[in-house]
Amino acid sequence: MRITVIGTGYLGATHAACMAELGYEVLGLDIDPEKVAALSAGRVPMFEPGLEELLTRHVSSGRLRFTTSWEEAGAFGDVHFVCTNTPQRKGEFAADMSYFDRAVDQLAPVLRPGAVVVGKSTVPVGSAARIAERLTELGPGDVALAWNPEFLREGYAVKDTLHPDRLVIGVAEPGGRAEQTLRQLYAPLTEDGVPLVVTDFATAELVKAAANSFLATKISFINAMAEVCEAAGADVVQLSAALAFDERIGGRFLNAGLGFGGGCLPKDIRAFMARAGELGADQALTFLREVDSINMRRRSRMVELAREQCGGGFLGRRVAVLGAAFKPNTDDVRDSPALNVAAQIQLQGAQVTVYDPKAMDNARKQFPSLTFADSVLEACEGAHVVLHLTEWQEFRELDPEAVGSVVASRQILDGRNILDPAVWRTAGWTYRALGRP
Ligand code: UDX
């Protein structure tokens, strides 16, 4: 079975390398010639642990190649995974399907009869049925569609693709060619015990929207508890630890702090609300509006805490921001809570210096007006307050004495509830965090 992967962004590049790892011959297609050149040379355009090694290995062996040619992709593949991005539309909640739709329109006419097309991107429910019709209209006939949502996390993309919690496959015809092909393709994973759930198109699309909504809700739930803890003088870290012992609740995704960001959770819950509205089911998801608001309020709260520590105003104050990526182990700064807070504080008059172990280039591109430093100590030089906003391992291991020797004032705000308050306080720091007394 030969595989093409259409769109070699985060999802596509990972999927292509992992399918090669499973033993398939893979051709990745992207419309961006620079991306194709980089990947063909074994270079991954983002930081993702383990991916470059996998890519290099399979590019060298010739099992994995990249192209910009639709004709080549159409002629090559038995199975075509479409992995283009579906970002939030400008000024709206709804998802922008134009990249995905354009990919289908280009691919369909060059497909071979008997090909299987597999949608992987996160899309509004109902898209698969629409795309199936489009394939019939523009394709050579006898093309089957399956919907196979992807649940990978950045920073764990390779592991999540090769060892997923489950595989979900949406098909128009249970037991038909699309299902059989994917069962065969994923046999190396299912034989290892990965559960496979076969559904109709709409259910498969909804599993992804529901999973991300649940995760976002869990984070906002604990952050709502953090707000109440702040009002009551209680400690959300202890509260969360105690809740986690209840197996029905569980401790994962229950870390209170600055909340969620990135290219998925924020835009996916908004797109889900927009789609539910179109379907006349908006009432069912009004709670997601609250989930979104709680999440955004954490950022404002962090700005407020920083202002308090700066004596009520930011003018003439230096603020060090540790972290720019939306979470550790990635260089992705899309909708990054850390950069959002840094930019707000700078707008209010502070001199803000940001340091991140991996995301500096992306952060600079997105916020050229912020100042960037090459190390923690350089960022903290002369700072009136230090903000810990992305929990990289490097920051967990910071020595409060070393940092204390360069700052103007020993004040630290822990936006991720990771640092040990006792250690920092013993070293003479004022330590404050979200949701803790
Ligand atoms: C998410 C989903 O986890 C994944 O299944 C889906 O395919 C894509 O979206 P990702 O965006 O890579 O993955 O990040 P994730 O690890 O889920 O974290 C999302 C955000 O939530 C991060 O900003 C993180 O800092 C925040 N978070 C996570 C919390 O604030 N508290 C937590 O307890 C967990």
| Ligand 1 pocket member 261 (CB < 6 A) | yes
DSSP conformation class of 109: G
CB within 8 Å of 207: residues ≥ 6 apart:
149, 168, 197, 199
Q: Is the dihedral of CA 357, 362, 367, 372 positive or negative?
A: positive
Q: What is the whole-number distance in angstroms between the Cα of residue 152 and the centre of ligand 1? A: 10
Residue type, 393: Q
Per DSSP bridges, beta strands 318-322 and 385-388 are parallel
ipTM over cut 0.90 = yes
From 48, 86, 166, 215, give the residue whose CB has the most ligand 1 atoms within 8 Å, as the site to mutate. Answer: 215
The answer to whether residues 146 and 178 touch, using CB atoms and an 8 Å cutoff, is yes
Per-residue pLDDT of the chain (437 residues; tens, 9 = 90+): 999 999 999 999 999 999 999 999 999 999 999 999 999 999 998 999 999 999 999 999 999 999 999 999 999 999 999 999 999 999 999 999 999 999 999 999 999 999 999 999 999 999 999 999 999 999 999 999 999 999 999 999 999 999 999 999 999 999 999 999 999 999 999 999 999 999 999 999 999 999 999 999 999 999 999 999 999 999 999 999 999 999 999 999 999 999 999 999 999 999 999 999 999 999 999 999 999 999 999 999 999 999 999 999 999 999 999 999 999 999 999 999 999 999 999 999 999 999 999 999 999 999 999 999 999 999 999 999 999 999 999 999 999 999 999 999 999 999 999 999 999 999 999 999 999 99
User: Distance between CA 110 and CA 70 in Å, rounded?
Assistant: 7
What pLDDT score was predicted for residue 45?
87
Residue nearest atom 13 in ligand 1 by C-alpha distance: 153
What pLDDT score was predicted for residue 39?
97
Residue nearest atom 30 in ligand 1 by C-alpha distance: 259
| Ligand 1 pocket member 264 (CB < 6 A) | yes
Domains and CATH numbers, the chain: 2-198 (3.40.50.720), 200-437 (3.40.50.720)
Tokens of 19: 């399918």
Tokens of 241: 């630890």
- pTM, to two decimals: 0.97
Which atom of ligand 1 is closest in space to residue 255's alpha carbon? 33
- Indicate if 264 belongs to the active site: yes
Tokens of 174: 């249970």
Q: What angle do CA 319, 295, 317 make, to 5 degrees?
A: 10
